Structure formats: C-alpha cells, structure tokens
Chains A and B, each alone.
Chain A
Amino acid sequence: MGSTESPKISLVNTAPKAPAWGRSIFNLDFAFKTLMLLAALTVLAVVGLIVVELLQRSALAWQKFGFHFFVTSAWDPVAGEFGALPFIFGTIVSSILALVIAVPLAMAVAVFVTEMCPKPLRKPISFATELLAAIPSVIYGLWAIFILVPLLRVYVAPLLARYFSWTGLFSGPMYGYSMLAAGTVMAIMIIPIISSITREVLAVVPQHQREAALALGATRWEMIRIGVLKNARAGIIGAIILGLGRALGETIAVTLVIGNTPQIAKSLFAPGYTMASVIANEFNEATDSLYVSALIEIGLALFIVTVIVNILAQLLVWTATRGAPARSNA
C-alpha cells in the first residue's frame, strides 16, 4: 500500500501485497480503504460546507454593508441598520476579562498539581477540574443567573466600585447582568482547558532541568520558575490562547448574563452583547432576509476568528510538546 513512513510508527508498509490469486480480497482491501477515505473526507467536506453555507447566506449583508459592517455600531433591525461593532467589542472585552480572571487560577492549579501538591491530592484536584469542563454551558448560565449575578451585584460590585472606580471600569449602576458577570462565568468555563494543557506542557519539561536548578541551590519555587515555567513558556501561551479560543465562541452562559444590550461602554458594570449572543438571541426572531444575513455574517466572522486563534494556539502547544501531547497522568 506504500504509505509514507512517519518517524514515530511505521504502519502500513508492512502490509502484505495482495496475493495474485485473491482478486476478491484485493478488491475488498481497496474498497475498505476507499470507504475509510470517504469517511475522512467528510471532515474536509464539513469545513467546506461551513464556509460555503456561511459565505452564501451572509452575501446579502456583505453586499449591502461591505466592510463597514464591522466598524459601525448602530444595530437597528427595524430600520435595517446593521453594524457589528458592539458585538465585536463585547466579544473581545468579555474574553479578555475572562482570561484575566482565568489565567492566574488555571496556572495556579496546573503548577500546584504538577509540582507542588502531595501525590494523593493530584487525582482529586485534576478530576475536579475535569468536571468543571464537563458541565454544559446552559447549566453554567443557569447557575450564573441565580447565584453569580446576585453575588456580584450585592457583594463584589460595591467593593470594586469603592476601591477601583478610578480605573473607570467600575462606574455606573450595576444591575447584575453585565460584562463583569459574563467575563466571570466565562472565566470559570475556560479554566479547565487552560489548566489541562498547561499541565501537559509542564509534564513534558525534562526532569534534568528541574535537577539542574535544584543542584544550584534553588528553592522549590525558584526551581519551578527557572527550571520549569521558563522552559514551558511557549506551551503555556498556547494554552492561554486555546482558552481564548474557547471564550470567543462561548454562547449560552454568556447570553444569559450579559444583558444583551448592543452598546459600547467603558464600565464593566454595563450590559453588553457578544457576537455569539446576538446570534443566539435574535436569530429565531429575525424576520427579513437582510437581518438573517447580517447575523450569519457575524457567525462567519466568529468562525474565522476562532479558527485563526485556535490554529495559532495549536501550533504553540504542538511546538512545546513536539507533536504528541504528553498524557497528563494525574
């Protein structure tokens, strides 16, 4: 069958050539391979379909608004005005806020589990992080509406307003449904992925680097700092960007707590809107074809952005772990 050898495993090269007498067998081998190939091609077909369908159905809006679509902030379906800037703003701000909250927490968990915690704690903590990843978005949303939002409104917001209003980020009334709430719930949702990839990346750092640091008389934290984290830099950044990719596409939980107001505001207390949320909220209400097309164009933009971000992240993580991600054994 003559497949190309991969440096890690040689596979089909050792397969026997079909015996001359078994023409039926040869056909079956060929048929089987073709069948599998078709299945594999569906993966390509799916991406192709995504691109084609999104392009097709957003064409109307693209023709009408062109690039202005992405820099205009007026979103008035009744008047036929569609500008996506508030959603782009909302997506970016909520994602960045999510990262700001999630990254320290995720890194702490990853470092703690890999380098610091006593062995019996490893499995429970990593299992707990895994469970966080398993909870569906809608349930995060539900929990956020009834638990997180009141918590933020009653306890956290006043504190932030009192001590940090000089930043301009915490001004105005806080009704609960806000960028802050969206960023917070998003942060909880992306902690598992950032933490898990970081753990893999840390685990791949060779033991001799840790020993080199220790032999110089480093304390454990210093050893982690210069012998592990420094070496894993690229992969850690990859993990963070992967988290970003997830945050960008997060829909349901955000829609439930962000307030769904197409506006650009400086304060995190203000409600906002993300690209995913506007689609979720308004798609089924969209009456005319321009409205639908505009929403699909936002979907297309979301698709392109998340794909680019994810590719970048995968590249970084791949270089850090050299292609085969190490199994996290915890």
Chain B
Amino acid sequence: MATAVEVRDLKAWFGKTEALHGINMVVESNHATAVIGPSGCGKSTFIRCLNRMHETNPVARAEGEVKVGSMDIYGMPAVDVRRKVGMVFQKPNPFPSMSIYDNVAAGLKLNGTRNHKTLDDVVERSLQQAALWEEVKDTLKKKSGASLSGGQQQRLCIARALAVNPEVMLMDEPCSALDPISTAKIEDLIFELKQKLTIVIVTHNMQQASRVAEFTGFFLMGNLVEFDRTEKIFTNPSDKRTEDYITGRFG
C-alpha cells in the first residue's frame, strides 16, 4: 500500500541559517517524484526532512507539516517514521561487519523478528525486489556486505531498506557514485518499485529525472521554484529560473 506525502510550509535550519524557506509539495503515491536543482539548493535537506534524518545533525531544526498518508511525521517518534519512510544514500553504506543476509535482515531484527523462516523469506523477497537475488543467493551468509561491487552494494542497501516494508522510499542521488550499467539497473528497479511504493529521488542528472520520474520539483536556494509533471518541466517550464537551469545556463 503506497501513500502520498504531503508537505506543508516546511522550513529547515542549520544553526541560524535557514536552508528551506517554506516548501509546499504533494507527492503522488505509486509514482516517482524527482527533486532537482543546483548544488546547495536544499534538495538533500528537503528529502532528509521527510524521514527526519535532518535533525540527526545536532544544530539542525525543522518546522512545518509533513504527512505520510495520514501520519504526521513530526507528531510521532522518529524511529517509527523511519520504518515507514526508507532511505537510500548517495554513497552505498552496507554494514561491513555483517554478511549480505544480515544486512538485509538488520531492520527486521531490530524490530524483533526472530523467526528464521520469516527472515529467510523477507531477505529473499527483498533481494529479488532489488534485482540482486540471483547474484548473491549462494553467498548470502558468507560474504560481507562490503565485499560487493559498488552497484551491487547500492542494490543491497535498497534491499535492506525494502525489507522493513516502507511505504515511501527516499533516494538521495543513489546513482551518483555508480557506473552507467549499475545506474541503468537501479533505474529499472525504480520502475518496478513504483508499483508498490512511492519514490522521491534527488538527482542532479536531469536525464535521469526525465527517465524515471513522473513528477519533478525544481529547487533553488531553499525554495521550491516549480513543481509539475516531468515532461512539462523539461519541455515547457513555467518559471524562467527553471528554464535557465534546464538549459544549462547555470548549475
């Protein structure tokens, strides 16, 4: 079951600096929404507010309303939010001291699942959803999470995030550290995943945004300048700043 994300007047600070100035956005369920913009525009900050990772920085602060489905994520424990809203990071970060199996199962084990059969099933399901199963099914418990290639590691991280059955998946430039083939694999993955979850993907690669996302939001200097269907953003943007960015005049 996928859920829409509703963001209302979201502001974020790092210490005294206001990084996001009142963002309003609605993310459609079962679709992929891309977040684009030049470096420093706040896209990573924005996405990290959606699973309350932003506040893990001791000087960071956020205000406003974010609802995932009917949940107000700022009105519930952050730990619970992050089970519903998963995240994949720019640099793949599997736990090197754990096997592939343990990596995928990590979230489940934390939530108290002990039953081996359940764990086995979920691990297999998640790895299949992440299109990694065939490659690792024989070495699940023997190889460490860090012994895979970059692209495989990222898919492992996706599997790990999928294992706890989130409703929304946040992806912060998931392919920027990967080679083109791995990137293509992950983009294919996003197509599949969309059917079950809602995806929000930050990307600095505009071609990627147009490939995978139905909706795109353009951020600039902490503001959401324009938000619309991807084709419209890339072929006929309403705002001049969007057009300048798309056409490469800056960024």
Contact of B96 among A210, A215, A216, A231 (CB under 8 A): A231
Residue on B with the closest CB to A227? Answer: B95
A288-326 interface code vs B (CB 8 A; 1 in, 0 out): 000000000000000000000000000000000000000
Tell me the residues in window 54-109 of chain B with beta carbons closer than 8 Å to chain A beta carbons.
56, 58, 79-83, 86-87, 89, 91, 93-98, 106-107
Tell me the residues in window 183-241 of chain A with beta carbons closer than 8 Å to chain B beta carbons.
206, 208-219, 222, 226-227, 230-231, 233
Q: Is the CB of B107 within 8 A of A212?
A: no
Q: B161 within 8 Å of A by Cβ?
A: yes
Q: Is the CB of A214 within 8 A of B107?
A: no
Q: How large is the interface on A (under 10, 10 to 19, 20 to 34, 35 or more residues)?
A: 20 to 34
Q: Is the CB of B82 within 8 A of A212?
A: no
Contact of A215 among B58, B98, B161 (CB under 8 A): B161
B29-52 interface code vs A (CB 8 A; 1 in, 0 out): 000000000000000000000010
Smallest CB–CB gap between A316 and chain B, Å?
Answer: 15
With A and B bound together, what is the CA distance between A227 and B157 in angstroms?
A: 14
Q: B111 within 8 Å of A by Cβ?
A: yes
Max chain A Cβ within 10 angstroms of own Cβ: one of B80, B86, B93: B93
Chain B contacts of A206 at CB under 8 A?
Answer: 93
With A and B bound together, what is the CA distance between A230 and B160 in angstroms?
A: 17
Q: A119 within 8 Å of B by Cβ?
A: yes
Given contacts A222-B110, A226-B106, contact A215 B95 (CB under 8 A): no
With A and B bound together, what is the CA distance between A210 and B53 in angstroms?
A: 11
Chain B contacts of A208 at CB under 8 A?
Answer: 89, 91, 93
With A and B bound together, what is the CA distance between A219 and B157 in angstroms?
A: 19
Q: B164 within 8 Å of A by Cβ?
A: yes
Q: Is the CB of B83 within 8 A of A217?
A: yes
Q: Is the CB of A217 within 8 A of B80?
A: yes
With A and B bound together, what is the CA distance between A92 and B103 in angstroms?
A: 39
With A and B bound together, what is the CA distance between A196 and B66 in angstroms?
A: 42
Max chain A Cβ within 10 angstroms of own Cβ: one of B53, B82, B98: B82
Q: Is the CB of B89 within 8 A of A216?
A: no
Chain A contacts of B96 at CB under 8 A?
Answer: 231
Q: Is the CB of B79 within 8 A of A230?
A: no
Residue on B with the closest CB to A215? Answer: B87
With A and B bound together, what is the CA distance between A69 and B58 in angstroms?
A: 59
Given contacts A219-B79, A230-B97, A233-B97, contact A214 B89 (CB under 8 A): no
Q: Is the CB of A230 within 8 A of B95?
A: yes
Q: Is the CB of A212 within 8 A of B89?
A: yes
Residue on B with the closest CB to A212? Answer: B93
With A and B bound together, what is the CA distance between A210 and B79 in angstroms?
A: 14
With A and B bound together, what is the CA distance between A227 and B81 in angstroms?
A: 19
Majority secondary structure, A binding face? helix
Chain B contacts of A218 at CB under 8 A?
Answer: 79, 110
B139-171 interface code vs A (CB 8 A; 1 in, 0 out): 000000000000000000100110010000000
Chain A contacts of B82 at CB under 8 A?
Answer: 214-217
Contact of B95 among A119, A209, A214, A219 (CB under 8 A): A209
Chain B contacts of A219 at CB under 8 A?
Answer: 79
Q: Is the CB of A217 within 8 A of B161?
A: no
Residue on A with the closest CB to B59? Answer: A119
Chain B contacts of A217 at CB under 8 A?
Answer: 79-83, 107, 110-111, 164
With A and B bound together, what is the CA distance between A191 and B93 in angstroms?
A: 32
Chain B contacts of A227 at CB under 8 A?
Answer: 95
Chain A contacts of B58 at CB under 8 A?
Answer: 119
Max chain A Cβ within 10 angstroms of own Cβ: one of B95, B107, B157: B95
With A and B bound together, what is the CA distance between A49 and B31 in angstroms?
A: 75
Chain A contacts of B93 at CB under 8 A?
Answer: 206, 208-209, 211-212
With A and B bound together, what is the CA distance between A119 and B57 in angstroms?
A: 12
Residue on A with the closest CB to B102? Answer: A226
Smallest CB–CB gap between B73 and chain A, Å?
Answer: 12
Given contacts A216-B161, A217-B80, A222-B110, contact A230 B91 (CB under 8 A): no
With A and B bound together, what is the CA distance between A214 and B85 in angstroms?
A: 11
Max chain B Cβ within 10 angstroms of own Cβ: one of A211, A213, A217, A230: A217
With A and B bound together, what is the CA distance between A231 and B107 in angstroms?
A: 17
Q: Is the CB of A226 within 8 A of B161?
A: no
Q: Is the CB of A212 within 8 A of B79?
A: no
Q: Is the CB of A212 within 8 A of B53?
A: no
With A and B bound together, what is the CA distance between A227 and B87 in angstroms?
A: 16
Q: Is the CB of B110 within 8 A of A211?
A: no
Smallest CB–CB gap between B83 and chain A, Å?
Answer: 4
With A and B bound together, what is the CA distance between A8 and B86 in angstroms?
A: 38
Chain B contacts of A210 at CB under 8 A?
Answer: 56
Smallest CB–CB gap between A210 and chain B, Å?
Answer: 8
Chain B contacts of A211 at CB under 8 A?
Answer: 53, 56, 89, 93
With A and B bound together, what is the CA distance between A230 and B81 in angstroms?
A: 25
Chain A contacts of B95 at CB under 8 A?
Answer: 209, 212-213, 226-227, 230-231
Residue on A with the closest CB to B52? Answer: A214
Chain B contacts of A226 at CB under 8 A?
Answer: 95, 98, 106, 110
- Interface pairs A-B: 7 shortest CB-CB: A217-B83, A217-B82, A216-B107, A215-B87, A208-B93, A212-B93, A230-B97
| Given A215-B87, A217-B80, A217-B107, 6 extra CB contacts under 8 A | A212-B93, A212-B160, A214-B53, A216-B106, A216-B107, A230-B97
| A residues apposed to B, CB below 8 Å | 119, 206, 208-219, 222, 226-227, 230-231, 233
